[in-house]
């Protein structure tokens, strides 16, 4: 079993009958959705929403009941991956481009469990370029404003085209090198008109599950 799968399967233990569950996005969340699908096939009853079209499609294939967002109410738990996590449970997310939906879903969840392999556990955030979702209107001005916050910002490109999120927006990947003060940076980013959301998740994770190559699983709680 790979490390992502190990962390994912540990997290899925928290899901109980009757829960309302948020499904994350990415290659680690994939394993959580697989395991949830397995448990649903064995008789677990849950209701779910997904943070991306890809995760929703996977969940439906596996028979996980997907409920419209405006009908499900508050979620009990969401399980999702991350690109970086630090000791304070601050996250960088959005490598898969789903940061806006992830932030909305996870803000409406009583509990957020983050699952990572040990490569994502960092002392200082910022090696992974911070994803920022930007509206297409006048986007070069927004990109320039992002650069003024002290990063090298580039549009994310996929198959030769500018990457489009599930919401029809662009992603600017912002290389800071190190992010010493995520709280301050988040406020600056949110003040830029044209920025829809940023990939800093502060005070959101309740638990981080880290699978290590030596076989250990570390659990970091809020
Ligand atoms: O934030 C995300 C998607 O927007 C993912 O959780 C993050 O990019 C980690 O992905 P992976 O599990 O594939 O490494």
Q: How far is the CA of 209 from the centre of ligand 1 (A)?
A: 14
Q: How far is the CA of 112 from the centre of ligand 1 (A)?
A: 14
Q: What is the ipTM, given to two decimal places?
A: 0.98
User: pLDDT tens string for the chain (222 positions)?
Assistant: 899 999 999 999 999 999 999 999 999 999 999 999 999 999 999 999 999 999 999 999 999 999 999 999 999 999 999 999 999 999 999 999 999 999 999 999 999 999 999 999 999 999 999 999 999 999 999 999 999 999 999 999 999 999 999 999 999 999 999 999 999 999 999 999 999 999 999 999 999 999 999 999 999 999
> Which runs of E-coded beta strand occur in 42-164?
47-50, 77-80, 84-85, 91-92, 112-117, 130-134, 152-155, 157-158, 161-162
Regarding the beta carbon of 28 and ligand 1, being less than 6 Å apart is answered yes
Structural domains of the chain in order of their starting residue, each with its CATH number: 3-119+202-214 (3.40.50.1360), 130-194 (3.30.70.260)
Taking the model in full, what pTM does it have? 0.96
Regarding the beta carbon of 52 and ligand 1, being less than 6 Å apart is answered no
B/e letters for 45-77, b = 16+ CB within 10 Å, e = fewer, are: ebbbbbbbebbbebbeeeebebeeeeebeebbb
Q: How far is the CA of 198 from the centre of ligand 1 (A)?
A: 14
Regarding the beta carbon of 109 and ligand 1, being less than 6 Å apart is answered no
């Amino acid at each position: 079993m790979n490390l992502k799968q190990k962390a994912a399967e540990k997290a899925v233990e928290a899901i109980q009958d009757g829960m309302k569950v948020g499904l994350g996005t990415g290659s680690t969340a994939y394993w959580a959705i697989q395991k949830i699908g397995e448990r649903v096939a064995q008789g677990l009853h849950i209701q779910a929403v997904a943070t991306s079209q890809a995760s929703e499609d996977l969940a439906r294939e596996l028979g996980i009941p997907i409920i419209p967002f405006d009908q499900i109410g508050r979620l009990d738990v969401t399980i999702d991956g991350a690109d970086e996590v630090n000791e304070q449970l601050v996250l960088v997310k959005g490598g898969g481009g789903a940061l806006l939906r992830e932030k909305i879903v996870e803000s409406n969840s009583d509990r957020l469990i983050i699952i990572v392999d040990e490569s994502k556990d960092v002392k200082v955030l910022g090696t992974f370029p911070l994803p920022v979702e930007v509206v297409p209107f006048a986007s070069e001005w927004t990109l320039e404003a992002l650069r003024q916050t002290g990063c090298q910002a580039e549009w994310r490109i996929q198959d030769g085209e500018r990457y489009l999120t599930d919401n029809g927006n662009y992603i600017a990947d912002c290389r800071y090198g190190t992010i010493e003060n995520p709280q301050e940076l988040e406020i600056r980013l949110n003040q830029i008109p044209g920025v829809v959301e940023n990939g800093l998740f502060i005070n959101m994770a309740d638990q981080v599950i880290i699978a290590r190559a030596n076989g250990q699983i570390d659990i970091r709680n809020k």
